[in-house]
Chains A and B, each alone.
Chain A
Amino acid sequence: MEEVKSWKKLLEAGQKVTESNRKEEERIYPLRREFNPVAPDIAKSALKRDFEVGLVYPVDESVEKDRELSGLKRRPPTAHLFKEALERKRKILEGAGIMKEMGYEKDSGKFKY
Protein backbone atom coordinates (compact mmCIF):
# COMPACT_ATOMS: atom_id res chain seq x y z
CA MET A 1 0.00 0.00 0.00
CA GLU A 2 1.36 3.43 -0.96
CA GLU A 3 2.32 5.43 2.09
CA VAL A 4 0.57 8.70 2.82
CA LYS A 5 2.72 10.72 5.20
CA SER A 6 -0.11 12.88 6.54
CA TRP A 7 -2.01 9.70 7.51
CA LYS A 8 1.06 8.41 9.33
CA LYS A 9 1.31 11.71 11.19
CA LEU A 10 -2.36 11.43 12.16
CA LEU A 11 -1.78 7.91 13.47
CA GLU A 12 1.26 9.06 15.44
CA ALA A 13 -0.75 11.95 16.87
CA GLY A 14 -3.27 9.40 18.14
CA GLN A 15 -0.53 7.25 19.65
CA LYS A 16 0.98 10.31 21.27
CA VAL A 17 -2.20 10.98 23.25
CA THR A 18 -2.34 7.37 24.45
CA GLU A 19 -0.75 6.50 27.79
CA SER A 20 -0.12 2.80 27.34
CA ASN A 21 2.35 1.64 24.73
CA ARG A 22 0.60 -1.47 23.48
CA LYS A 23 3.49 -2.62 21.32
CA GLU A 24 5.85 -2.50 24.25
CA GLU A 25 3.34 -4.27 26.52
CA GLU A 26 2.79 -7.01 23.96
CA ARG A 27 6.54 -7.60 23.95
CA ILE A 28 6.77 -7.77 27.75
CA TYR A 29 3.59 -9.80 28.26
CA PRO A 30 3.27 -12.03 25.18
CA LEU A 31 0.61 -14.26 26.77
CA ARG A 32 -1.69 -11.40 27.64
CA ARG A 33 -5.04 -11.55 25.86
CA GLU A 34 -5.24 -9.18 22.92
CA PHE A 35 -7.28 -6.09 23.70
CA ASN A 36 -8.80 -3.65 21.25
CA PRO A 37 -9.36 -0.21 22.74
CA VAL A 38 -12.68 1.48 21.98
CA ALA A 39 -11.09 4.43 20.21
CA PRO A 40 -8.76 3.56 17.32
CA ASP A 41 -5.45 5.46 17.29
CA ILE A 42 -6.20 7.00 13.88
CA ALA A 43 -9.33 8.74 15.24
CA LYS A 44 -7.96 9.79 18.64
CA SER A 45 -6.58 13.24 17.85
CA ALA A 46 -9.91 14.30 16.29
CA LEU A 47 -11.84 12.78 19.21
CA LYS A 48 -9.62 14.64 21.66
CA ARG A 49 -10.32 17.94 19.87
CA ASP A 50 -14.00 17.13 19.86
CA PHE A 51 -13.88 16.60 23.65
CA GLU A 52 -11.87 19.78 24.23
CA VAL A 53 -13.49 22.15 21.72
CA GLY A 54 -16.86 20.52 21.05
CA LEU A 55 -16.02 20.48 17.35
CA VAL A 56 -13.41 18.75 15.24
CA TYR A 57 -11.60 21.91 14.06
CA PRO A 58 -10.47 24.81 16.22
CA VAL A 59 -10.92 28.43 15.18
CA ASP A 60 -7.62 30.18 15.77
CA GLU A 61 -6.39 33.71 15.11
CA SER A 62 -5.68 33.04 11.44
CA VAL A 63 -9.14 31.56 10.85
CA GLU A 64 -10.71 34.49 12.68
CA LYS A 65 -8.86 36.91 10.42
CA ASP A 66 -10.09 35.20 7.25
CA ARG A 67 -13.63 35.02 8.63
CA GLU A 68 -13.56 38.75 9.20
CA LEU A 69 -12.19 39.40 5.71
CA SER A 70 -15.07 37.31 4.35
CA GLY A 71 -17.60 39.53 6.11
CA LEU A 72 -18.31 37.15 8.99
CA LYS A 73 -18.00 37.54 12.74
CA ARG A 74 -14.62 36.38 13.98
CA ARG A 75 -16.06 33.63 16.19
CA PRO A 76 -18.79 31.41 14.75
CA PRO A 77 -21.86 30.96 17.00
CA THR A 78 -20.95 27.36 17.69
CA ALA A 79 -19.30 25.88 20.79
CA HIS A 80 -16.31 28.02 19.75
CA LEU A 81 -18.28 31.01 21.04
CA PHE A 82 -20.82 29.43 23.38
CA LYS A 83 -18.76 27.60 25.95
CA GLU A 84 -21.95 26.40 27.65
CA ALA A 85 -22.56 24.15 24.63
CA LEU A 86 -19.19 22.51 25.25
CA GLU A 87 -19.96 22.18 28.96
CA ARG A 88 -23.23 20.45 28.13
CA LYS A 89 -21.43 18.10 25.77
CA ARG A 90 -18.89 17.20 28.45
CA LYS A 91 -21.67 16.53 30.96
CA ILE A 92 -23.35 14.21 28.46
CA LEU A 93 -20.08 12.43 27.66
CA GLU A 94 -19.33 11.89 31.32
CA GLY A 95 -22.88 11.18 32.46
CA ALA A 96 -23.40 8.51 29.82
CA GLY A 97 -20.07 6.91 30.73
CA ILE A 98 -18.66 7.47 27.25
CA MET A 99 -15.39 9.09 28.35
CA LYS A 100 -14.81 6.38 30.92
CA GLU A 101 -15.41 3.56 28.48
CA MET A 102 -13.12 5.23 25.97
CA GLY A 103 -10.47 5.58 28.64
CA TYR A 104 -10.22 9.32 28.09
CA GLU A 105 -8.96 11.34 31.02
CA LYS A 106 -9.92 14.98 30.69
CA ASP A 107 -7.31 16.27 33.14
CA SER A 108 -4.36 14.84 31.26
CA GLY A 109 -6.10 15.04 27.87
CA LYS A 110 -4.97 11.48 27.15
CA PHE A 111 -6.51 8.10 26.40
CA LYS A 112 -5.41 5.43 28.88
CA TYR A 113 -5.26 2.77 26.16
Chain B
Amino acid sequence: MKKIAGNSNIEVIDMSEEAHLNQNQHPHQHQHNHQHQQTQRQKYGYFLGCVMPAKMPWAEKATFLVARHLGLDFDYMKETVCCVRPGVWKPLNPDWWLILTGQNLATAEMQKIIMVDSCNGCYISHYECLEELKGEPEKMEMVNRALKGAGLSLRGNLEIRHFLEVLYEDVGIERIRRSVVRPLKLRVTRHIGCHARVHGDRLLNYFDEVLRATGVEIVDTPYDRACCGLLLYLSDPATSIFRRAGIKLERAMEEKADGLVIICSGCYDQFERAVRVYKEERGVDLKSPVVHLSELLALSFGYRPEDFGMVYRRPIPVTGIIEKLKLKLKEEEGGR
Protein backbone atom coordinates (compact mmCIF):
# COMPACT_ATOMS: atom_id res chain seq x y z
CA MET B 1 0.00 0.00 0.00
CA LYS B 2 1.30 3.40 -0.88
CA LYS B 3 1.49 5.85 2.02
CA ILE B 4 -0.19 9.11 1.41
CA ALA B 5 0.15 11.43 4.38
CA GLY B 6 1.13 14.88 3.28
CA ASN B 7 0.26 14.28 -0.32
CA SER B 8 -2.96 15.70 -1.66
CA ASN B 9 -2.86 13.35 -4.66
CA ILE B 10 -4.53 10.28 -3.26
CA GLU B 11 -3.19 6.88 -4.10
CA VAL B 12 -5.92 4.27 -4.21
CA ILE B 13 -4.93 0.93 -2.72
CA ASP B 14 -3.37 -1.35 -5.28
CA MET B 15 -5.72 -4.24 -5.96
CA SER B 16 -2.80 -6.65 -6.27
CA GLU B 17 -2.03 -5.92 -2.66
CA GLU B 18 -5.68 -6.39 -1.84
CA ALA B 19 -5.45 -9.81 -3.45
CA HIS B 20 -2.37 -10.48 -1.32
CA LEU B 21 -4.22 -9.45 1.81
CA ASN B 22 -7.09 -11.74 0.92
CA GLN B 23 -4.73 -14.69 0.60
CA ASN B 24 -3.83 -14.26 4.25
CA GLN B 25 -7.36 -14.11 5.56
CA HIS B 26 -9.11 -16.66 7.70
CA PRO B 27 -11.16 -19.13 5.58
CA HIS B 28 -14.50 -18.12 7.12
CA GLN B 29 -14.01 -14.55 5.91
CA HIS B 30 -13.80 -15.63 2.30
CA GLN B 31 -17.47 -15.48 1.41
CA HIS B 32 -17.96 -12.12 3.06
CA ASN B 33 -14.91 -10.57 1.40
CA HIS B 34 -15.82 -12.01 -1.96
CA GLN B 35 -19.15 -10.26 -1.68
CA HIS B 36 -17.31 -7.14 -0.49
CA GLN B 37 -14.98 -7.18 -3.50
CA GLN B 38 -17.94 -7.44 -5.83
CA THR B 39 -19.59 -4.47 -4.15
CA GLN B 40 -16.34 -2.51 -4.29
CA ARG B 41 -16.35 -2.57 -8.05
CA GLN B 42 -19.64 -0.70 -8.00
CA LYS B 43 -19.69 3.03 -8.29
CA TYR B 44 -20.63 4.95 -5.19
CA GLY B 45 -22.15 8.43 -5.50
CA TYR B 46 -21.81 10.49 -2.34
CA PHE B 47 -24.83 12.66 -1.59
CA LEU B 48 -23.64 15.87 0.05
CA GLY B 49 -26.94 17.29 1.27
CA CYS B 50 -27.32 20.90 2.41
CA VAL B 51 -25.17 21.22 5.53
CA MET B 52 -21.92 19.48 4.60
CA PRO B 53 -20.86 21.54 1.56
CA ALA B 54 -21.70 24.81 3.32
CA LYS B 55 -20.55 24.17 6.88
CA MET B 56 -18.35 21.07 7.02
CA PRO B 57 -15.73 21.21 4.24
CA TRP B 58 -13.32 19.28 6.52
CA ALA B 59 -15.80 16.39 6.78
CA GLU B 60 -16.45 16.37 3.03
CA LYS B 61 -12.75 16.25 2.21
CA ALA B 62 -11.96 13.70 4.94
CA THR B 63 -14.77 11.41 3.73
CA PHE B 64 -13.28 11.37 0.23
CA LEU B 65 -9.75 10.77 1.55
CA VAL B 66 -10.98 7.85 3.63
CA ALA B 67 -13.24 6.28 0.98
CA ARG B 68 -10.56 6.40 -1.72
CA HIS B 69 -7.84 5.28 0.69
CA LEU B 70 -9.98 2.20 1.29
CA GLY B 71 -10.08 1.52 -2.44
CA LEU B 72 -13.70 2.43 -3.10
CA ASP B 73 -14.87 3.74 -6.47
CA PHE B 74 -16.20 6.80 -4.70
CA ASP B 75 -17.27 10.06 -6.32
CA TYR B 76 -19.85 12.76 -5.80
CA MET B 77 -23.45 12.21 -6.69
CA LYS B 78 -23.99 15.25 -8.91
CA GLU B 79 -26.97 17.56 -9.53
CA THR B 80 -28.46 17.00 -6.09
CA VAL B 81 -31.07 19.07 -4.27
CA CYS B 82 -32.19 19.06 -0.62
CA CYS B 83 -33.05 15.51 0.53
CA VAL B 84 -35.88 16.94 1.35
CA ARG B 85 -35.95 17.18 5.12
CA PRO B 86 -38.50 14.55 6.16
CA GLY B 87 -39.02 16.19 9.55
CA VAL B 88 -40.33 19.30 7.82
CA TRP B 89 -41.92 18.00 4.63
CA LYS B 90 -43.65 14.87 5.92
CA PRO B 91 -45.79 16.85 8.39
CA LEU B 92 -46.55 19.43 5.68
CA ASN B 93 -47.75 16.76 3.26
CA PRO B 94 -46.37 13.20 3.01
CA ASP B 95 -47.09 13.03 -0.74
CA TRP B 96 -45.04 16.18 -1.33
CA TRP B 97 -42.17 14.60 0.57
CA LEU B 98 -42.36 11.55 -1.71
CA ILE B 99 -42.51 13.67 -4.86
CA LEU B 100 -39.63 15.99 -3.94
CA THR B 101 -37.42 13.19 -2.60
CA GLY B 102 -38.18 11.37 -5.84
CA GLN B 103 -36.06 13.92 -7.73
CA ASN B 104 -32.82 12.81 -6.02
CA LEU B 105 -33.76 9.14 -6.39
CA ALA B 106 -34.45 9.56 -10.11
CA THR B 107 -31.15 11.45 -10.54
CA ALA B 108 -29.20 8.70 -8.74
CA GLU B 109 -30.92 6.02 -10.84
CA MET B 110 -30.01 7.92 -13.99
CA GLN B 111 -26.36 8.22 -12.85
CA LYS B 112 -26.23 4.44 -12.21
CA ILE B 113 -24.64 4.84 -8.79
CA ILE B 114 -25.12 3.42 -5.34
CA MET B 115 -26.31 6.48 -3.49
CA VAL B 116 -24.35 7.02 -0.26
CA ASP B 117 -25.58 9.23 2.57
CA SER B 118 -23.68 10.02 5.75
CA CYS B 119 -26.29 12.47 7.03
CA ASN B 120 -28.86 10.35 8.85
CA GLY B 121 -31.68 12.68 7.85
CA CYS B 122 -30.81 12.43 4.15
CA TYR B 123 -30.39 8.67 4.47
CA ILE B 124 -33.74 8.12 6.11
CA SER B 125 -35.49 10.39 3.62
CA HIS B 126 -34.05 8.59 0.59
CA TYR B 127 -34.23 5.09 2.04
CA GLU B 128 -37.78 5.30 3.39
CA CYS B 129 -39.06 7.10 0.33
CA LEU B 130 -37.65 4.40 -1.95
CA GLU B 131 -39.06 1.61 0.23
CA GLU B 132 -42.48 3.23 0.29
CA LEU B 133 -42.54 3.80 -3.46
CA LYS B 134 -41.36 0.26 -4.24
CA GLY B 135 -44.08 -1.13 -1.97
CA GLU B 136 -46.91 1.06 -3.25
CA PRO B 137 -47.12 1.22 -7.05
CA GLU B 138 -49.87 3.86 -7.05
CA LYS B 139 -47.56 6.22 -5.13
CA MET B 140 -44.72 5.45 -7.53
CA GLU B 141 -47.12 6.40 -10.32
CA MET B 142 -48.04 9.64 -8.56
CA VAL B 143 -44.34 10.54 -8.13
CA ASN B 144 -43.58 9.74 -11.76
CA ARG B 145 -46.44 11.95 -12.92
CA ALA B 146 -44.83 14.84 -11.01
CA LEU B 147 -41.29 14.01 -12.19
CA LYS B 148 -42.31 13.77 -15.83
CA GLY B 149 -42.69 17.54 -16.18
CA ALA B 150 -39.04 17.91 -15.20
CA GLY B 151 -37.93 15.25 -17.67
CA LEU B 152 -37.25 12.64 -14.97
CA SER B 153 -38.57 9.17 -14.24
CA LEU B 154 -38.05 6.66 -11.48
CA ARG B 155 -38.28 2.87 -11.64
CA GLY B 156 -36.92 2.24 -8.16
CA ASN B 157 -33.96 0.32 -9.48
CA LEU B 158 -31.30 1.74 -7.18
CA GLU B 159 -29.64 1.19 -3.85
CA ILE B 160 -29.34 3.63 -0.94
CA ARG B 161 -26.50 3.00 1.51
CA HIS B 162 -25.48 4.74 4.69
CA PHE B 163 -21.77 5.57 4.72
CA LEU B 164 -21.48 3.41 7.86
CA GLU B 165 -22.85 0.44 5.88
CA VAL B 166 -20.32 1.07 3.15
CA LEU B 167 -17.50 1.19 5.70
CA TYR B 168 -18.56 -1.76 7.79
CA GLU B 169 -20.26 -4.09 5.33
CA ASP B 170 -18.59 -3.30 2.01
CA VAL B 171 -15.05 -2.43 3.16
CA GLY B 172 -15.06 -4.44 6.38
CA ILE B 173 -13.84 -3.60 9.85
CA GLU B 174 -10.68 -5.70 9.48
CA ARG B 175 -9.52 -3.73 6.50
CA ILE B 176 -10.26 -0.47 8.30
CA ARG B 177 -8.21 -1.67 11.28
CA ARG B 178 -5.37 -2.65 8.96
CA SER B 179 -5.42 0.85 7.45
CA VAL B 180 -4.86 2.52 10.82
CA VAL B 181 -1.20 3.50 10.97
CA ARG B 182 -1.47 6.12 13.67
CA PRO B 183 -3.89 5.07 16.44
CA LEU B 184 -5.39 8.18 18.00
CA LYS B 185 -4.78 8.71 21.69
CA LEU B 186 -7.90 10.76 22.19
CA ARG B 187 -10.83 10.55 24.59
CA VAL B 188 -14.15 11.28 22.91
CA THR B 189 -17.85 11.25 23.55
CA ARG B 190 -20.11 10.36 20.64
CA HIS B 191 -23.52 11.08 19.20
CA ILE B 192 -25.01 8.71 16.65
CA GLY B 193 -28.32 10.53 16.00
CA CYS B 194 -31.91 9.31 16.06
CA HIS B 195 -32.41 8.56 12.37
CA ALA B 196 -29.54 6.08 12.42
CA ARG B 197 -31.44 4.10 15.04
CA VAL B 198 -34.89 4.03 13.44
CA HIS B 199 -34.33 0.59 11.95
CA GLY B 200 -32.50 -0.99 14.89
CA ASP B 201 -29.05 -0.69 16.44
CA ARG B 202 -27.06 -1.96 13.47
CA LEU B 203 -25.72 1.46 12.39
CA LEU B 204 -25.09 2.44 16.00
CA ASN B 205 -22.87 -0.63 16.42
CA TYR B 206 -21.07 0.05 13.13
CA PHE B 207 -20.41 3.61 14.28
CA ASP B 208 -18.91 2.46 17.57
CA GLU B 209 -16.76 -0.25 16.02
CA VAL B 210 -15.39 1.98 13.28
CA LEU B 211 -14.75 4.75 15.80
CA ARG B 212 -12.92 2.33 18.12
CA ALA B 213 -10.79 1.17 15.20
CA THR B 214 -9.21 4.65 15.09
CA GLY B 215 -7.75 4.00 18.53
CA VAL B 216 -9.81 6.55 20.46
CA GLU B 217 -11.20 5.88 23.90
CA ILE B 218 -14.98 6.26 23.90
CA VAL B 219 -16.41 7.83 27.03
CA ASP B 220 -19.98 6.68 27.64
CA THR B 221 -22.46 9.25 28.88
CA PRO B 222 -26.17 8.98 29.78
CA TYR B 223 -26.99 11.15 26.75
CA ASP B 224 -25.38 9.09 23.99
CA ARG B 225 -28.68 7.98 22.50
CA ALA B 226 -30.57 11.18 23.19
CA CYS B 227 -31.75 13.34 20.29
CA CYS B 228 -29.68 16.38 19.26
CA GLY B 229 -32.90 18.41 19.26
CA LEU B 230 -32.74 19.52 15.63
CA LEU B 231 -36.43 19.16 14.81
CA LEU B 232 -37.54 20.16 18.29
CA TYR B 233 -35.91 23.53 17.65
CA LEU B 234 -38.84 24.58 15.47
CA SER B 235 -41.39 24.24 18.30
CA ASP B 236 -39.42 24.38 21.58
CA PRO B 237 -36.06 26.09 21.02
CA ALA B 238 -35.01 26.30 24.67
CA THR B 239 -35.41 22.57 25.33
CA SER B 240 -33.86 21.81 21.94
CA ILE B 241 -30.74 23.87 22.62
CA PHE B 242 -30.18 23.60 26.35
CA ARG B 243 -31.63 20.17 27.18
CA ARG B 244 -30.61 18.29 24.04
CA ALA B 245 -27.58 19.53 22.06
CA GLY B 246 -26.23 21.69 24.89
CA ILE B 247 -26.33 18.98 27.53
CA LYS B 248 -24.24 16.71 25.32
CA LEU B 249 -21.63 19.40 24.70
CA GLU B 250 -21.57 20.34 28.38
CA ARG B 251 -21.05 16.71 29.33
CA ALA B 252 -18.22 16.36 26.82
CA MET B 253 -16.56 19.32 28.55
CA GLU B 254 -17.13 17.86 32.02
CA GLU B 255 -15.54 14.63 30.85
CA LYS B 256 -12.60 16.65 29.47
CA ALA B 257 -13.19 14.86 26.19
CA ASP B 258 -11.09 15.89 23.20
CA GLY B 259 -14.24 16.07 21.11
CA LEU B 260 -17.78 14.91 20.45
CA VAL B 261 -17.85 12.61 17.43
CA ILE B 262 -20.76 12.65 15.00
CA ILE B 263 -21.60 11.18 11.59
CA CYS B 264 -24.77 13.15 10.74
CA SER B 265 -24.61 16.60 9.13
CA GLY B 266 -28.14 17.43 10.31
CA CYS B 267 -27.07 16.83 13.92
CA TYR B 268 -23.91 18.86 13.29
CA ASP B 269 -26.07 21.79 12.19
CA GLN B 270 -27.90 21.63 15.50
CA PHE B 271 -24.67 21.42 17.54
CA GLU B 272 -23.28 24.40 15.67
CA ARG B 273 -26.44 26.34 16.45
CA ALA B 274 -26.18 25.37 20.12
CA VAL B 275 -22.57 26.59 20.26
CA ARG B 276 -23.66 29.95 18.81
CA VAL B 277 -26.65 30.32 21.14
CA TYR B 278 -24.58 29.47 24.23
CA LYS B 279 -21.96 32.03 23.24
CA GLU B 280 -24.20 34.84 22.03
CA GLU B 281 -27.04 34.50 24.49
CA ARG B 282 -25.38 33.07 27.60
CA GLY B 283 -21.77 34.15 27.15
CA VAL B 284 -20.67 30.52 27.52
CA ASP B 285 -17.87 29.07 25.41
CA LEU B 286 -18.38 25.37 24.80
CA LYS B 287 -14.90 23.90 24.47
CA SER B 288 -15.19 20.34 23.17
CA PRO B 289 -15.18 20.48 19.36
CA VAL B 290 -17.66 18.50 17.29
CA VAL B 291 -15.71 16.26 14.91
CA HIS B 292 -16.82 13.97 12.12
CA LEU B 293 -16.00 10.26 12.15
CA SER B 294 -14.28 10.63 8.76
CA GLU B 295 -11.82 13.14 10.22
CA LEU B 296 -10.70 10.68 12.88
CA LEU B 297 -10.44 7.91 10.32
CA ALA B 298 -8.34 10.13 8.05
CA LEU B 299 -6.01 11.08 10.91
CA SER B 300 -5.62 7.47 12.01
CA PHE B 301 -4.84 6.48 8.40
CA GLY B 302 -1.90 8.87 8.53
CA TYR B 303 -3.32 12.01 6.95
CA ARG B 304 -2.48 15.34 8.51
CA PRO B 305 -5.09 17.91 9.66
CA GLU B 306 -4.04 20.23 6.81
CA ASP B 307 -4.82 17.50 4.23
CA PHE B 308 -8.52 18.12 4.81
CA GLY B 309 -8.61 21.68 6.15
CA MET B 310 -9.43 20.60 9.68
CA VAL B 311 -9.06 24.09 11.14
CA TYR B 312 -11.34 26.03 8.78
CA ARG B 313 -14.97 26.95 9.48
CA ARG B 314 -15.00 25.56 13.02
CA PRO B 315 -17.15 27.20 15.67
CA ILE B 316 -15.09 25.35 18.32
CA PRO B 317 -11.38 25.23 17.43
CA VAL B 318 -9.78 21.79 17.12
CA THR B 319 -6.46 23.07 18.45
CA GLY B 320 -6.44 20.58 21.33
CA ILE B 321 -6.70 17.60 19.00
CA ILE B 322 -4.05 18.97 16.66
CA GLU B 323 -1.65 19.64 19.55
CA LYS B 324 -2.04 16.07 20.76
CA LEU B 325 -1.39 14.76 17.27
CA LYS B 326 1.74 16.88 16.92
CA LEU B 327 2.99 15.63 20.27
CA LYS B 328 2.47 12.05 19.16
CA LEU B 329 4.30 12.70 15.91
CA LYS B 330 7.24 14.18 17.82
CA GLU B 331 7.33 11.13 20.09
CA GLU B 332 7.31 8.87 17.04
CA GLU B 333 10.13 10.82 15.43
CA GLY B 334 12.09 10.83 18.69
CA GLY B 335 11.74 7.08 19.00
CA ARG B 336 13.26 6.45 15.57
Instruction: State the majority secondary structure of interface residues on B.
Output: helix
A63-102 interface mask toward B, CB cutoff 8 Å, 1 = contact, 0 = none?
1001101111000111110101111110111011010010
A67 to B57, CA, bound (A): 5
Q: Are B48 and A78 in contact (CB under 8 A)?
A: yes
A3 to B239, CA, bound (A): 10
Assuming the contacts A85-B80, A85-B107, A96-B96, asked whether A80 and B238 have C-beta atoms less than 8 A apart, the reply is no
**Residue of B whose beta carbon sits closest to that of A56:** B50
Residues of B contacting A43 in the complex (Cβ-Cβ under 8 angstroms) = 88, 234
A69 to B308, CA, bound (A): 8
Residues of B contacting A40 in the complex (Cβ-Cβ under 8 angstroms) = 234
In A26-49, the 8 Å CB interface with B consists of 38-40, 42-43, 46-47
Interface size of A in residues (CB-CB distance below 8 Å)? 47
Does residue B19 face the partner (Cβ distance < 8 Å to A)? no
Does residue A2 face the partner (Cβ distance < 8 Å to B)? yes
Residues of B contacting A38 in the complex (Cβ-Cβ under 8 angstroms) = 92-93
Residues of A contacting B58 in the complex (Cβ-Cβ under 8 angstroms) = 70
A64 to B152, CA, bound (A): 30
A14 to B292, CA, bound (A): 31
Residues of A contacting B116 in the complex (Cβ-Cβ under 8 angstroms) = none
**Residue of B whose beta carbon sits closest to that of A6:** B277
Residues of B contacting A101 in the complex (Cβ-Cβ under 8 angstroms) = 93
Q: Which of A47, A71, A77 gathers most chain B CB within 10 Å?
A: A71
Does residue A13 face the partner (Cβ distance < 8 Å to B)? no
Q: Contact check: which of A2, A6, A7, A70 meets B312 at CB < 8 Å?
A: A70
**Residue of B whose beta carbon sits closest to that of A8:** B237
A79 to B50, CA, bound (A): 10
A4 to B149, CA, bound (A): 42
Does residue A109 face the partner (Cβ distance < 8 Å to B)? no
Assuming the contacts A7-B233, A78-B48, A85-B107, asked whether A92 and B53 have C-beta atoms less than 8 A apart, the reply is no
Residues of A contacting B237 in the complex (Cβ-Cβ under 8 angstroms) = 4, 6-7
Q: Are B60 and A88 in contact (CB under 8 A)?
A: no
Q: Are A70 and B81 in contact (CB under 8 A)?
A: no
What's the A-B contact tally at a CB cutoff of 8 Å? 142
Q: Contact check: which of A4, A42, A88 meets B151 at CB < 8 Å?
A: A88
Residues of A contacting B312 in the complex (Cβ-Cβ under 8 angstroms) = 66, 69-70
Assuming the contacts A70-B60, A71-B61, A92-B149, asked whether A6 and B308 have C-beta atoms less than 8 A apart, the reply is no
A79 to chain B, nearest CB (A): 5
Assuming the contacts A57-B50, A85-B80, asked whether A72 and B100 have C-beta atoms less than 8 A apart, the reply is no
Does residue A5 face the partner (Cβ distance < 8 Å to B)? yes
Q: Contact check: which of B49, B85, B99 meets A92 at CB < 8 Å?
A: B99
A71 to chain B, nearest CB (A): 5
Q: Are B82 and A50 in contact (CB under 8 A)?
A: yes
Q: Are B277 and A92 in contact (CB under 8 A)?
A: no
In B40-57, the 8 Å CB interface with A consists of 48-51, 53-55, 57
A40 to B149, CA, bound (A): 28
In B51-83, the 8 Å CB interface with A consists of 51, 53-55, 57-58, 60-61, 76, 78-82
Q: Contact check: which of B103, B150, B307 meets A71 at CB < 8 Å?
A: B307
Name 9 extra pairs, CB < 8 A, besides A7-B237, A63-B54, A88-B103: A1-B238, A5-B280, A46-B88, A50-B82, A55-B49, A59-B53, A70-B57, A70-B309, A72-B60
A-B contact pairs, 22 of them (CB 8 A): A4-B241, A47-B88, A55-B81, A55-B82, A57-B55, A67-B60, A69-B57, A69-B312, A70-B308, A70-B309, A71-B309, A72-B57, A72-B60, A82-B78, A85-B81, A85-B103, A87-B150, A89-B81, A89-B100, A91-B150, A92-B100, A96-B99
| Residue positions of A touching B, CB distance < 8 A | 1-7, 38-40, 42-43, 46-47, 50, 54-59, 63, 66-67, 69-72, 76-80, 82, 84-89, 91-93, 95-96, 98, 101
Closest 9 A/B residue pairs (Cβ):
A70-B309, A76-B53, A7-B237, A95-B149, A70-B57, A57-B54, A4-B237, A88-B150, A2-B238
